[in-house]
Homo-oligomer: A and B are copies of this chain.
Amino acid sequence: MKVVALAGGVGGAKLAEGLNRLLLPDELTIIVNTGDDFKYFGLHISPDLDTVCYTLAGLANKETGWGRANETWQAMECITELGGPDWFHLGDRDLGLHLERTRRLQDGQTLSQVTRQVCQALRIRPHVLPMSDVFVPTFVCTDEGELPFQEYFVQRSCQPMVTGFRFQNMEKAQPAPGVIEALVDSDLVIVCPSNPWVSIGPILAVPGIRGALASCRVMAISPIVGGKAVKGPAAKMYLELGIQPSAVSVARHYGDLLSGFILDQVDCELTITIQNMGVQVHVTDTIMASPAERFRLACEVVEFGMRLIQSEASG
């Protein structure tokens, strides 16, 4: 069973961790959004990649949802004392990773090479791949003008009203080595419950990825539950873009890529609408409040995928 997960930050990382407990390391590839990568103090910061890696390594900070557990903040306190920009909080241990990654990138290594080395050092066993080695920063178009993603997301707390998105430099990007191969080899692609606009959207926009997915068995888990985002600005973005935030909108978002869809039980009345789109639906509790629930959801998603495979074989 070869599974590929497409993941953004927290929601993606939680499901990836559940899948990591269920599958053998060679059975799982996680392709991670790097559209939220940015430069801060000259450092190359990859928040989604780090959230996924810290979560898989058991190092994630469960309180904040980002950064490392048992973190200290001495460097940032000093920057604050000096009057420097401190809107994006970098913990001291986290900084170590950013410094070493930036050093290797400046040395000529690629982001996927550095990610592989980080995974080895942190004893992460599944394949974790950035979507691309090319820097393709997401910009959020708002009523206050275009903002770099992290300025919109962290500095402005998602306050400005969204009118669209721009993935800078995307036309020149290629999928990172291994991405297309993993998709082509996959039995199942799982679109994690991450933000469709700014977490999964950039992955799908990398030239070549959407085309490869067209030949894959793709299932998505809705990050919108009961009309609200489990975390983050997904629902607010749908509303501001004139779309009712709902699991149906998420299913429409991924459109004909989808073979299956996992719907939260609170949204079970949407089952038929989504089935009418030609998509198989599995209804369950999708909120991963504990490690046990991450594992349970991963099991259900993979079992649902196996049923899809069997029904295709018999159908």
Give the interface segment out of A9-17, A100-108, A236-244.
A100-108
Interface: A277 (CB within 8 A): no
Residue of B nearest to A90 (CB): B99
B contact residues around A91 at 8 Å (CB): 74
**A292: interface (CB < 8 Å):** no
Chain B residue nearest to A44 in the complex (CB): B42
Q: Give the residue of B92, B94, B100 whose beta carbon is less than 8 angstroms from that of A82.
A: B100
Copy count, this protein chain: 2
CB nearest neighbor in B for A121: B82
Q: Is the CB of B76 within 8 A of A42?
A: no
Alpha-carbon separation in the docked complex, A42 to B71 (Å): 23
Choice from B71, B78, B96, B122 contacting A76 with Cβ under 8 Å: B96
Taking each of A72, A78, A84, A93, which has the highest tally of chain B beta carbons within 10 Å of its own beta carbon? A78
The distance in angstroms between the C-alpha atoms of A206 and B71, with both chains bound, is 43
Q: How far is the CA of A118 from the CA of B83 in the complex (A)?
A: 9
Chain A 211-252 per-residue mask, 1 if CB under 8 angstroms from chain B, else 0: 000000000000000000000000000000000000000000
Contacts of A75 in B (CB 8 A): 75, 92-93, 95-96, 99
Picked from B84, B94, B118, the residue with its CB within 8 Å of the CB of A99 is: B84
Would you call A97 an interface residue if the criterion is a C-beta within 8 Å of the partner chain's C-beta atoms? Answer: yes
Closest Cβ of chain B: how far from A62's Cβ, in Å?
18
Q: Which of B93, B95, B100 contacts A84 (CB 8 A)?
A: B100
Q: Name which residue of chain B comes closest to A70, CB basis.
A: B74
Contacts of A118 in B (CB 8 A): 82
Question: A77 CA to B93 CA in the complex, in Å?
Answer: 8
B-contacting residues, A106-134, CB 8 Å: 106, 117-118, 121-122
Determine if A309 is an interface residue (Cβ-Cβ < 8 Å): no
Question: Given the complex, which residues of B lie within 8 Å of A79, measured CB to CB?
Answer: 96, 99-100
Q: How far is the CA of A69 from the CA of B233 in the complex (A)?
A: 42
B102 touching A82, Cβ below 8 Å: no
Given A72-B72, A93-B77, A41 and B82 contact (CB-CB distance below 8 Å): no
Write out the residue numbers on chain B whose beta carbons fall within 8 Å of the beta carbon of A95. Answer: 74-75, 78, 92, 95
Scoring A72, A77, A92, A118 by chain B CB atoms within 10 A of each residue's CB, the highest score goes to: A92
Chain A to chain B: the 4 pairs with minimum beta-carbon distance, closest first:
A78-B96, A74-B92, A75-B96, A84-B100
Extra inter-chain contacts (20) besides given A72-B74, A78-B94, CB under 8 Å: A41-B102, A41-B103, A42-B102, A71-B74, A72-B72, A72-B92, A74-B93, A75-B75, A75-B92, A75-B99, A77-B93, A77-B96, A79-B99, A79-B100, A81-B121, A82-B117, A82-B118, A84-B100, A92-B92, A95-B95
Contact sample, A vs B, 17 pairs, CB 8 Å cutoff? A41-B99, A41-B102, A42-B42, A42-B99, A71-B74, A72-B74, A75-B93, A78-B93, A78-B96, A79-B99, A81-B121, A81-B122, A82-B96, A82-B118, A82-B121, A84-B96, A84-B103
